C-alpha cells in the first residue's frame, strides 16, 4: 500500500532532503511550503506523484486548507513531518519583539497547529499514524549561535512532542522529535553567519557538519508501521556535539 506524507517547509533545505528520501521509500509526498512556486518546482523535480500545497504553518486557516488539499489529492497522510522553521542568529540583547514573535509563531505555534489538526483527522477516521517533529540541538544546549528565540522555540517543540505522544498513544499515533545539530546545507552560512561556520565545525567531534540525508533516513525509520513502540523520543543527530 502506498502511504502519503506531508512535509512542511519542504521546498528547499532539510525539508527537501526529507521529501526526497520519502519518495525513494515509496511515499506519495505533499510538499507544504509558504512559497508555492518553489514547492511546485520541488514536487515536479521529485516526480512519483509528489504534489505541492500552499502552507503557512502559523495560520490556522492555511493549515486546515492544506490538510483539505492533501486529503483530496492523495488521501489522509500516514505521516506528518513538521520541518518548517525560521532562524535568525542574534544575540539576546539584539532581538526585537517582532522577530521573537515571528520565530515562535512559525517554529512552535506552527508545529502545534499542524500536530493538532492532523491528530484530529486521524482520530476521526480511527487511523493510526506518525508525526515526526524536527527539533534542534539548540533546543537542548542553550542555542549556540542560533539565538534565544530559535532555541526557545525548539525547546518548546521537544516538550510538545512528549505531550502529543502521551495523548495520542491510545489512537495508535506515535510522535517523536529529531534534534539535528549543524547540517551541511547552504542556509547555514545565512543563518549563523559565514564567519561563524569554521568555529562551529572546529567544535564538532567528528570534524564535519551533519549530513541532512542522515536526518531524512531517520524520519523514514520512525515512520515505519513496526516502529510503534518508539514515541515521545528525542533522537539526537549532531555529530557528537551533544551526548546524553
DSSP the chain: ---EEEEET-SSHHHHHHHHHHHHTT-EEEEEES-HHHHHHHHHHH-TT-EEEE--TT-HHHHHHHHHHHHHHH-S-SEEEE---------GGG--HHHHHHHHIIIIIHHHHHHHHHHHHHHHTT--EEEEEE--THHHHT-TTS-HHHHHHHHHHHHHHHHHHHHHGGGTEEEEEEEE-SBS-THHHHHH-GGGHHHHHHT-TTSSPBPHHHHHHHHHHHTSGGGTT--S-EEEESTTSS--
Cβ contact 232:165 at 8 Å: yes
**Whether residue 27 lies in the annotated active site:** no
Which one of the listed residues 150, 151, 174, 223 is annotated catalytic? 150
Q: So which residues are the catalytic ones?
A: 150
Amino acid at each position: 500500500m502506498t502511504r502519503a506524507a506531508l512535509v512542511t517547509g519542504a521546498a528547499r533545505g532539510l525539508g527537501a532532503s526529507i521529501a526526497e528520501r520519502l519518495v525513494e521509500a515509496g511515499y506519495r509526498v505533499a510538499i507544504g511550503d509558504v512559497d508555492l512556486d518553489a514547492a511546485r518546482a520541488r514536487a515536479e523535480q521529485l516526480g512519483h506523484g509528489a504534489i505541492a500545497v500552499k502552507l503557512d504553518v502559523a495560520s490556522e486557516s492555511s493549515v486546515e486548507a492544506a490538510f483539505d488539499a492533501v486529503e483530496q489529492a492523495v488521501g489522509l497522510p500516514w505521516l506528518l513531518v513538521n520541518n518548517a522553521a525560521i532562524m535568525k542568529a542574534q544575540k539576546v540583547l539584539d532581538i526585537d519583539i517582532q522577530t521573537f514573535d515571528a520565530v515562535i509563531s512559525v517554529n512552535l505555534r506552527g508545529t502545534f497547529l499542524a500536530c493538532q489538526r492532523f491528530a484530529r483527522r486521524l482520530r476521526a477516521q480511527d487511523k493510526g499514524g506518525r508525526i515526526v517533529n524536527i527539533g534542534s540541538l539548540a533546543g537542548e544546549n542553550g542555542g549556540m549561535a542560533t539565538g534565544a528565540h530559535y532555541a526557545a522555540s525548539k525547546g518548546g517543540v521537544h516538550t510538545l512532542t512528549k505531550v502529543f505522544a502521551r495523548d495520542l498513544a491510545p489512537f495508535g499515533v506515535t510522535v517523536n522529535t529529531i534534534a539535528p545539530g549543524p547540517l551541511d546545507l547552504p542556509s547555514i552560512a545565512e543563518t549563523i553567519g559565514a564567519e561563524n561556520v569554521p568555529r562551529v565545525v572546529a567544535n564538532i567531534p567528528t570534524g564535519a557538519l551533519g549530513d541532512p540525508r542522515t536526518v531524512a533516513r531517520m524520519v523514514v525509520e520512525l515512520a515505519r508501521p513496526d516502529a510503534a513502540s518508539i514515541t515521545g523520543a528525542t533522537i539526537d543527530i549532531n555529530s557528537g556535539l551533544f551526548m546524553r
